[in-house]
Structure 1
């Protein structure tokens, strides 16, 4: 599986870009999965539902399945957070995994940079940043990376397809 990080500072628009990219890449024939890092406590379960009650009772894993989807919830219960590689190993094989977050991991990345935020470029200190999708191209031209217009989903998808080597580009 090819992996591409979608990295940037909070508020840069990483999630917005990912949800625009997925249908574009799928329309080009790629099978895409995502892996999102959360810096805060989160829950995908609903209090009061059986699966939530199972977790609250102490189950390490709860798998919920239906004719439409299945979901596996794993409680760390004080164990160390799994590495990116360990999490990637849990995914089914696809053409591309878009990894949102994990900006310090040594994986190929597309940096999302919004000039108005005033945040420094990750590319300045991260050789794994291959390209920068930005709304201020003149501000980041010095970075020595491919510069892509943040609002041009097709151009960004072309770059991603070239990275994957799929031949699915425009």
Structure 2
């Protein structure tokens, strides 16, 4: 499986870029999965559902299966957060896994950057960032792509990965 990341600070367009890249790559006939890191506490399960009640009762893992999807929820209950490598190992084989977040991990990445966010670029101090997708021209030592030019960004990633 090929792995490529989209990184950047909050409100710089990471999730929108991820969404557009998934649509672009799947339109090209590739199978794509995503893995997103959240720094805050998150819960995809809702109170008053059976699966929520199972977890609240103490289950370590709850698998919710239906004809449309399967959700696996694991409670860490004080254990360390799984590493990116461990999470990737659990995923089913696909052509491409796009990873959102995980700024400090060594996989290749593209940084999403919006001028109005007012945040500093990560790229100057991070050689794993191979290009920047920006809404404004930048003078850097690596490619700067238009943040809204999804096909060109996908072409860049595909070339990098030999897809």
The alignment's TM-score, normalised by the length of structure 2, stands at: 0.97
Q: CA deviation at 1:66?
A: 1.0
- 2:157 aligned with 1:160: yes
Deviation at 1:163, TM superposition (A): 2.1
Extract unaligned runs of 5+ from structure 2: none
Residue 111 in 1 paired to residue 111 in 2? yes
Aligned-residue offset at 1:2: 1.0
- Contact 1:113 1:133 (8 Å CA) reproduced: yes
Question: Partner of 2:73 in structure 1?
Answer: 73
What do the CA deviations read for 1:85-141 (whole angstroms, capped 9, x no partner)? 01111100111111101111111000111122221111110010101000112xx22
Normalising by structure 1, what TM-score?
A: 0.93
Rounded Cα–Cα distance in structure 2 between residues aligned with 1:51 and 1:117: 38
Q: How many equivalent pairs are there?
A: 163
Aligned to 1:82: 82
Backbone CA RMSD of aligned residues? 0.9
Aligned residue in 1 for 2:7:
7
Where structure 1 has 5 or more consecutive residues not aligned to the other structure, the ranges are none
Q: Is the 8 A contact 1:5 1:99 kept in 2?
A: yes
- 1:49-89 Cα deviation digits (max 9, x unpaired): 11000000000000010111111000000000111101111
